[in-house]
Chains A and B, each alone.
Chain A
Amino acid sequence: MIRTAPSLDIDAILDDSGTRIIVCCGAGGVGKTTTAAALGLRAAERGRSVVVLTVDPAKRLAQAMGLSELDNTPRRVDGCDLDGAGREGGELHAMMLDMKRTFDEIIEAHADPERAQQILTNPFYQSLSSSFSGTQEYMAMEKLGQLRRSGDWDLIVVDTPPSRSALDFLDAPERLGRFLDGRLIRILMAPAKVGGRSAFKLLNAGFGMVAGILTKVLGAQVLKDIQMFVSALDAVFGGFRQRAEQTYRLLQAPGTAFLVVAAPERDAMREASYFVERLAEEGMPLAGLVVNRVHRTSAASLSAARSCAAAEELEARGEHALTSAVLRLHAGRMQLAAREEREQEHFTSAHPMVPVTRVPAMPEDVHDLAGLRQIGQLLSSN
């Protein structure tokens, strides 16, 4: 039995003033950022005050949105056609996440100047905040929370970082919590608190052994830097964790809509299935699936089989070379469409309740607002 997925009504989501956050997630290379930008533009042109938070935009897409300055502050995108839908009050802002800047700002806002300085100059902090992969997820969550708390926008559209495991950003608060509640951090902090109440911890069974191993494995200097870093960060981290948990709960709230973005290929659809299941496990509100780059044909009535047979016949007769080449191409296209259809059917059989919208494959990447607008229209016309 072939199941038909319910269709995803994008405009209903964008027009609902209750929708405050849209999260686009999905495998790498399926057009997440473009989808997020197109949704943001469409929402703005339908009267919402929108900010698009993007993590890693392609240069040309950033330029299309007027983001030649890639910094951590939302910039107004000019050229939205606000008369088109006849609605007022809409505007679009866009920004790119600068994870180091975001991290620095948290430190500056939550630690006294002396301690902040201590942290910002710590070598462990410097590499953690700027180059270690994984920080991006924490900071994307943090920025999302900040934007939401600011109350400056009534809709935030965010595209998720290209993580190694696609839902790393959901795990960020829990991981951080596990770390902070762990015994390791208490052990690491103990020496820094010598003289205080926790000094007796030094006598704790096991500490000497652990410190010994850590020194041996990490080297004394690294251990010292980490200890300094951890103890200096102690005050800041508490607040950070609390906010990360707030953001996590915000994502679970009814004002959030998750859109899983995919392409009609086996790996991307498999990843989409995984996302849908993971989001359900976490109690995150899934709005639907966006399938990008769907190949369509303008002569669907001519099947691949008939097209191939006709081409073969012409080739055998040695006639009409052009026609047979065109028929071969058409057959290939029909086969591709059929394969893509099957991949989507697999998904829908497993997740029959998930609404789906499709965007046809474009010959060229999006370079400007007109292109984004077109994608927005396609997303909404099912």
Chain B
Amino acid sequence: MGTRDARDTDWDGVRLHVVSGKGGTGKTTVAAALALALAAGGRKVLLVEVEGRQGIAQVFDLPPLPYEERKIAVAPDGGDVYALAIDPEAAMLDYLEMFYGMKRMGKALTRIGVVDFATTIAPGLRDVLVTGKTSEAVRRRDPRTGRRVYDAVVMDAPPTGRIVRFLNVTQEVAGLARVGPIRHHADLVRGVFTSPETAVHFVTLLEEMPVQETLDGIAELRETKLPVGGIFINMVRPAGLPDPVLEAAFHKRFDTAELAVGLKATGLAERDAGPLAEALAREIAEHAQRVELENRERRTLASVGTPCYDLPLLPDGADLAGLYELADTLRTRGAA
């Protein structure tokens, strides 16, 4: 074991990190930050995109990614992050070539619409191709050294509402094909996804709907025996005020008199600080209400019994600098 394996994190031994989350929670950003964090210290990580949105390219501020594993970022202390945007049609041709040596046949199949059929009309097959390509990258070994090519693979996966169906689609196909090459392929993929080398993480916000979806998603994962990972609480804003003040504001008992005196002292309000203090008090009351709701959601998440990681709201949005900041936070908190 080299030094690059010596890590003490919550997910030691996990090599496939599937990152899901409700739309709008920042799933792609968190997946990208996790890939950077995992690569830190000289490791090699593949970040996989499966939905053809080119979200990874946007997050890293790059032109659209081709269907090709290419290096897109360098992690702190010299690790590499590679990215791959999986295109189902290309993956299908890949698959034909890899298992059957049929590259030219693949082109013929494209012409008569077989590939179209597989990737659009029967979208389940599309999911098999995409998950199949991902698990191939997880298992791939360097022919000379016998070592795994990637230390970890991070998948920017479909949203929470579809994640279990997506990961389980191999089983779906397995039910369809009791024997034969698809069944074999599906079994292989399922083997990777259900192994302890995989963790399915959820990105959420401290809001009711994303939290509820996270709980539903985790329950569904547990039912289907897929490995539950961590919960990444994204865009966390500091409470900003001491608890007693928030408490008072929440119950509409916030003392505007003290605020008015302070405002006068700053010169922001000269004669009558009352109206400004009242306006700010309304903001504080709203803020306190939000904090209260957030605390409630946080308690709900804590009851799930899997690690939760706070990620701060980036004031300037998730730009490249922000990604590194998030990656750093993930490492500090033991997620990577």
Contact = CB atoms under 8 A, between A and B. Distances in A.
Contact of A29 (B22, B175, B242): B22
Given A28-B22, A322-B259, A364-B293, A133 B165 contact: yes
A325 B241 contact: yes
Nearest to B319: A266
Given A320-B261, A320-B262, A326 B280 contact: yes
A365 interface: yes
Given A29-B24, A320-B261, A184 B283 contact: no
B178 interface: yes
Contact of B181 (A29, A217, A365): A217
Interface stretch (A244-252, A295-303, A348-356): A295-303
B262 A322 contact: yes
B262 A324 contact: yes
Contacts of A363: 286, 289-290, 293
A123 B175 contact: yes
Interface in B278-292: 279-280, 282-284, 286-287, 289-290
A191 to B, nearest CB: 15
B120 interface: yes
Contacts of B113: 178-179, 182-185
B187 interface: no
A29 B287 CA distance: 22
A284 interface: no
A165 B52 CA distance: 8
Nearest to A128: B122
Interface in A155-196: 162, 164-165, 175-176, 178-179, 182-185, 187
A335 interface: yes
Contacts of B208: 60, 364-365
Interface residues of B, number: 76
Nearest to A220: B180
Contacts of A278: none
Nearest to B294: A363
B262 A131 contact: no
Interface string B54-86: 000010000000000000000000000000000
A182 B177 contact: no
Interface stretch (A69-77, A143-151, A306-314): A306-314
A317 B287 CA distance: 26
A276 B60 CA distance: 25
B152 to A, nearest CB: 24
B321 interface: no
Contacts of B307: none
Given A175-B121, A179-B117, A328-B240, A365 B209 contact: yes
A178 B212 CA distance: 39
Say whether chain A's binding surface is mostly helix, strand, loop, or mixed. helix
B232 to A, nearest CB: 15
Interface string B95-119: 0100010100100110011101100
Interface centre among B117, B179, B266 (most CB of A within 10 A): B266
Contacts of B173: 127
A127 B258 contact: no
A226 B159 CA distance: 29
Given A133-B123, A134-B123, A179-B120, A302 B268 contact: yes
Given A131-B172, A182-B113, A333 B283 contact: yes
Contact of A132 (B96, B117, B122, B241): B122
Contact of B162 (A60, A133, A206, A265): A133
A190 to B, nearest CB: 12
B124 interface: yes
B13 interface: no
B24 A268 contact: yes
Contacts of B240: 325, 328-329, 332
B177 A221 contact: yes
Given A128-B124, A298-B283, A335 B105 contact: no
A214 interface: yes
B161 interface: yes
Nearest to A328: B240
A299 B281 CA distance: 10
Given A132-B124, A133-B166, A363-B290, A219 B179 contact: yes
A221 B180 contact: yes
Interface in A232-268: 263, 265-268
Contacts of A332: 237, 240, 315
Contacts of B122: 128, 132
Nearest to A299: B279
B333 interface: no
B100 A182 contact: no
Given A30-B24, A219-B180, A299-B283, 12 more contacts: A127-B176, A134-B121, A165-B52, A165-B53, A216-B100, A217-B96, A219-B182, A267-B24, A319-B265, A327-B266, A339-B317, A364-B289
10 contacts: A30-B24, A59-B212, A131-B169, A132-B123, A179-B116, A218-B177, A219-B177, A302-B276, A314-B266, A326-B280
Q: Which 4 A-B pairs have the closest CB atoms?
A: A28-B23, A219-B180, A323-B262, A29-B24
